[in-house]
Amino acid sequence: MFDDRYTLAYRLYPYARHADQDKDTPVRHPVVVMGGGPVGVATALDLGAQGIPCVVLDDHEGVGMGSRAICFAKRTLEIANRYGAGKPMVEKGVVWNLGKVFHKDDKVFEFNLLPEEGHEFPAFINLQQPYFESFMIERLYEMQKQGAPVEIRGKNRVDSVTVKDDHVVLEVMTPDGPYTMEADWLIGCDGANSPLRTMLGHDFTGKVFKDSFLIADIKMINDDFPTERWFWFEPTSSSGASILLHRQPDNVWRVDFQIGWDVDRKEEMKEENIRKRLDAFLGEDVDYEMVWSSIYTFQCKRMEKFRHGPVIFAGDAAHQVSPFGARGANSGMQDIDNLGWKLGLVINGQAPESLLDSYNTERVHGADENILNSTRATDFITPKSETSHIFRNAVLELSEHYEFARPLVNSGRLSLPCVYDGSPLNSADGLPHGPERTRPGAPCPDAPCPDATPGEGFLLPKLGGTFTLLTLNAEAPEGFEESGVAVTRLALNTADDKTGALAARYLGEAKSAVYLIRPDQHVAARRENFDENLFRAALRRATGKE
């Protein structure tokens, strides 16, 4: 009656009968999250940190085996750090900067991500998804111990949902049988095949790619490959049309073979056949153990709207991308970063419900950007016509000798946070000569933070969670309140930052600057000096009141 659909790596939230199941009338919760994947758990962490009650329901009792995602971007780590789960991820993860691109047998070129100095977190880490999820779930339990009103219920499967005007009724199945619960808000984080989407009849449209990929995660026994990302186009070992080799923690490497559309999955998944491919690729003398393998196909799709009244979709349930560019889990984390504070303000009566429509506007924009990038990478890796294949190979051939062609090689444009240009929450740029990268709508880049121990302190941990008035070499009051929403000032002087990075990132040509920063660390407004009326207006605008 209650079978697992996948094997667990860690049984972190075993089923336990809840008092809700014995009530005669269904219990109403402010927020219920359907799905305890990375995005659902992030929702609980975001709301929990705000003191807003949140129940996560998952149809399993923990984290699934096997790593789908392995590549987590800086922005994800910054968000996780705001939730108190970022540091263990970096400690466990593998930091990499060097990538090599091969065509046939030749190395075409190599690149270095050359991380910019003055950021707390690296550009990327590789980390198995089960670890990533476990760190967040551990954090959830820690928050719970500290009194945050959040919980996750294992083996609680949502079987049906009825949407009312101002709430949602859920039928939940458990090993002890069904029970009913209600939610003011239901957040659908139930993954790419979202049963919730199907229950409510919402469509999910886009492109399906006619190719499949075989993943083999292997543990090296007698050999060591460097901590680099290696990508082969048309390797002569003919073990795949392309191959990706990338290191993960625990001496595990991901090998990803492009194997074509018309394959016999069952045959391909036999260990002996996977080993054949691996041996052809690695050479007979390399010893390894198989850790996990899987075949995946992919699509780039999204829902037309992410908000449907009291039901809000996030993560893979709302949008799906190809894995090239690592934009799946990374964009799901940005969804919650965006949604969390808005939902918090609405629930606390500090902002109108319409603020939630800006979640839709901003994250649909983000999803489109991710889909565009991942579609382009996919078209490069799996050319869809003879001509596109000819051009693809021409780019690779030229790259070996001529630098100009290298930026055209696309084996995945790695995930960067989205700038919410044109968002209704932005105020007009009052610092036109300020840096592009910190214009209204942009996520704040990290920078050394001068008031802390030299080399230790960073800006981002001092922002976020609530609205901040960041002043650089400028006067302003210590804070203000505007229609129920408080802003606190963070006063910095760029002369204190000897590296100059803070000034370069936030001042540009300007002598001083004042920024209004949203709880998700995106810029809402900026000017050269503080102007009370304008910043009050900017705050009203950023909270959906103008």
Point out which span in 326-334, 397-405, 429-437, 489-497 binds another protein (CB under 8 A): 397-405
Tokens found for residue 261: 């559309």
The contact mask relative to another protein for 485-524 (x = CB under 8 A, - = no) is ----------------------------------------
Output the smallest distance, CB 406 to another protein, in A: 11
Nearer to another protein, 25 or 387 (CB): 387
Nearer to ligand FAD, 34 or 101 (CB): 34
Nearer to another protein, 108 or 351 (CB): 108
Contacts (Cβ under 8 Å, ≥6 apart) of 401: none
Output the smallest distance, CB 475 to ligand FAD, in A: 42
Tokens found for residue 365: 């924009």
Binding partner at 428 among another protein, ligand FAD, none, C-beta below 5 to 8 Å by kind: none
Which residues make beta-bridge pairs with 31? 185
Cα–Cα distances in angstroms (integers) from residue 279 to residues 72, 232, 253, 285, 483, in the given order = 29, 16, 14, 8, 66
Output the smallest distance, CB 211 to another protein, in A: 22
Nearer to another protein, 246 or 392 (CB): 392
Contacts (Cβ under 8 Å, ≥6 apart) of 339: 43, 46, 187, 312, 314, 356, 359, 363
The binder of another protein chosen from 116, 138, 228, 397 (CB under 8 A): 397
The binder of another protein chosen from 208, 394, 428, 486 (CB under 8 A): 394
Binding partner at 79 among ligand FAD, another protein, none, C-beta below 5 to 8 Å by kind: none
Is residue 379 within 8 Å of 242, Cβ to Cβ? no
Is residue 305 within 8 Å of 318, Cβ to Cβ? no
How many DSSP H helices and E strands does the chain contain?
12, 28
Output the smallest distance, CB 450 to ligand FAD, in A: 33
Is residue 36 within 8 Å of 13, Cβ to Cβ? yes
Nearer to ligand FAD, 326 or 513 (CB): 326
Output the smallest distance, CB 377 to ligand FAD, in A: 13
- What is the total count of residues that contact another protein (CB under 8 A)? 11
Nearer to ligand FAD, 315 or 443 (CB): 315
Per DSSP bridges, beta strands 205-208 and 299-302 are antiparallel
Binding partner at 59 among ligand FAD, another protein, none, C-beta below 5 to 8 Å by kind: ligand FAD
Nearer to ligand FAD, 189 or 487 (CB): 189
Point out which span in 42-50, 144-152, 399-407, 447-455 binds another protein (CB under 8 A): 399-407
Binding partner at 391 among ligand FAD, another protein, none, C-beta below 5 to 8 Å by kind: another protein
Question: What are 224-232's contacts with CB under 8 Å, separation 24+?
Answer: 225/253, 226/98, 227/94, 227/95, 227/96, 227/98, 228/96, 228/98, 228/99, 228/100, 229/96, 229/98, 229/99, 229/100, 230/99, 230/100, 230/102, 231/99, 231/100, 231/101, 231/102, 231/411, 232/102, 232/103
What's the 3-state SS for 369-431?
HHHHHHHHHHHHHCCCCHHHHHHHHHHHHHHHHCHHHHHHCCCCCCCCCCCCCCCCCCCCCEC
Instruction: Establish if 321 lies at the interface with another protein (CB under 8 A).
Output: no
Output the smallest distance, CB 363 to ligand FAD, in A: 13
Nearer to ligand FAD, 50 or 76 (CB): 76
Nearest to 460 by CA among 47, 136, 86, 78: 78
Nearest to 477 by CA among 485, 518, 486: 486
Binding partner at 215 among ligand FAD, another protein, none, C-beta below 5 to 8 Å by kind: ligand FAD
Q: Quick check: helix, strand or coil at residue 501?
A: helix
Output the smallest distance, CB 104 to another protein, in A: 13
Binding partner at 408 among ligand FAD, another protein, none, C-beta below 5 to 8 Å by kind: another protein
Is residue 47 within 8 Å of 55, Cβ to Cβ? no
Tokens found for residue 486: 């408080």
Q: How far is residue 28's CA from residue 339's CA, in Å, rounded to a whole number?
A: 21
The binder of another protein chosen from 391, 421, 454, 532 (CB under 8 A): 391
The binder of another protein chosen from 398, 416, 452, 491 (CB under 8 A): 398
Binding site for ligand FAD (CB under 6 A): 34-40, 57-60, 68-71, 129, 157-158, 189-191, 195, 215, 296, 315-317, 323, 326, 328-330, 332
Q: Kindly give the residue spans of alpha helices, DSSP state H, lying in 83-150.
A: 86-92, 129-145
Output the smallest distance, CB 243 to ligand FAD, in A: 14
Q: How far is residue 233's CA from residue 114's CA, in Å, rounded to a whole number?
A: 24
Output the smallest distance, CB 139 to another protein, in A: 46
Nearer to another protein, 383 or 461 (CB): 383
Output the smallest distance, CB 276 to another protein, in A: 30
Binding partner at 35 among another protein, ligand FAD, none, C-beta below 5 to 8 Å by kind: ligand FAD
The binder of another protein chosen from 42, 79, 395, 447 (CB under 8 A): 395
Output the smallest distance, CB 404 to another protein, in A: 5
Question: What are 194-199's contacts with CB under 8 Å, separation 24+?
Answer: 194/313, 194/316, 194/317, 195/158, 196/34, 196/158, 196/161, 196/311, 196/313, 196/317, 197/303, 197/313, 197/317, 199/160, 199/161
Residues 400-419 that bind another protein (CB under 8 A): 402, 404-405, 408
Query: Which residues of this chain interact with another protein, rule CB under 8 A?
Result: 390-391, 393-395, 397-398, 402, 404-405, 408
